[in-house]
Chain A
Amino acid sequence: MMQLIVHPSDELPIYRQIMRQIVEAIAGGRLRHGDKLTSHRDLAEQLVVAPLTVKKAYDELELLGYVETQRGRGTFVCAQPPKVKPAEQRERLRAAARKLLSEAYLGGLRFKDAEEILREADREISSGRAASAGGVRREKEES
């Protein structure tokens, strides 16, 4: 269900890698609102990491508002996307944008090329959302 992978020697600690991948999955439409996340014990066995690490990732995501835990039933993706402080979000995006552009300029590309790349990424995300929505519709038709 959830295809995650972790690298122990990555820059981010394992729990942050799990958090980031879950957030990306939510953003990309692979995990939709109301979906149940794999239990932290099962995910721990799947990824071969400590169960407490997975639990920590889930707890942090809950604090940020991405998921919510219902006692006895499991952890679910929140119906509402979390309210991120706009100023924080702009700052994070500004840093990411700086990184993207400096890498592009280093490679000899220009601003126009970076713009084109952004448009392509936008298309991919939208089609991804549509595909998973379509997939669910097709499942509903077949069942």
Chain B
Amino acid sequence: MIWQLVRRDQDWRMLGWVTLGLWVGTLAGTVFSHPRVTAESLFSSALPNMLFGCLVLGFMFGANRRAALFQAALPIPARDLFVARLFSYVAGLWFVLLNTAAACYVAGSGPSIPLLSLIMAAAMGAVTYLALLSLRLRELSVPTWMAYALLAGLGPAGYLVLFPGPLFFFARPGIVLPVCAVTFAALLWRDLASMPVAFQVAPMDAVAERLAKSGAGLVRPVWWPVWQSALHGRSSLFLVMLAIWLAMGMWWIVPLMIASFVVNALVSLRWLWPLPVERRKMLAMILLAPLLLSAAVQVVWPAGFVRAVELVALTLLLISASLAMYKRNGLPAPARLVVQLLYFIVFLGPFAIVTVDAFHGKGSHSGIHAWSYTADYLAAHLAGVLPGHPAILIAGTLVALGALYWLVQRQFESADFVQFVQTRLDTTEYSSGLGA
């Protein structure tokens, strides 16, 4: 029975994509760089992100849910459901991390992979997940706020263990692994002992009516429901991840985070579509704040105007590309193909350039920094061609960015919202995650 459940678990389908992304990312990062970025350094910087990403992905796809509603109606003992879910997730975690190790090995740095770090990370991930599932072991799913609290607490703790600094003494495998093993076993034993026969759908004790006193006195701006809606639920997760990645200096993931935020916010705002609000206002409300804030952070730290411009340009291009993937009314098929080809060139072109350079023994940037390389090249070239005053260069760049924003706005105004968010709408049925 447990095996039947594990086999049918929905989240295995994401595992394929995550693993593929892992291999592509690791290989692209190392193979196309010159001199070779060692897999080891790549690994140690990627590891905390991966761990965090695994946990977060799990939440998005309902890891805090012990069983689906339809499973609760079937004649399956709660214990089987619990063990199956635990097994699926932990197995998935180990699968991902082992694949990372394999990818790094293949990428050429040989056997000097810090395998123990990897195992420590996997062990801690497993214990975290079990701890989460053990909370209030009576209901179908753990309350969302509890899940957040646990994540907030254990995530940073885990990070400190792996990259200890002053806590070095506690971070040795000799301490972490046994502690994890014992904790895991203890929790599991306790859960199996106190497992209910069947999971309840709602908590036993009625929740006291928390009066919305906060709303009564405050005068909120009229647009408040729109912002509240955009930030509630899945989309806020992308903002959190955005902040974390920016703080870690991995700014190149930020465009993807902003684009995902925009799509998810649009889904949350679907109650707004039939109302007479101009689309350009909607776009400005969900895109401008994260975009400008990220750019501002980039200018200040880590470094420079060029990186900030690059970030904004990439974000706008990414959104424009995803809007262009769907048939625009009035754009005939050949023209649409041309537009898609153009975007293909823009996003993969820099990789091609860097590869060619590496082949010829020139250039010293890893594949991930391909766009930075291109941006620096363009900046240097432009500074040489145009009149030397930096103010003119800056003004010109801003105008170009403004034009790009205008393009995105035009596309947004004529986009087919329903089709654009259709895949997102479909997945909300499967996951109970953090608000649909």
CB–CB under 8 A between A and B in the complex? no
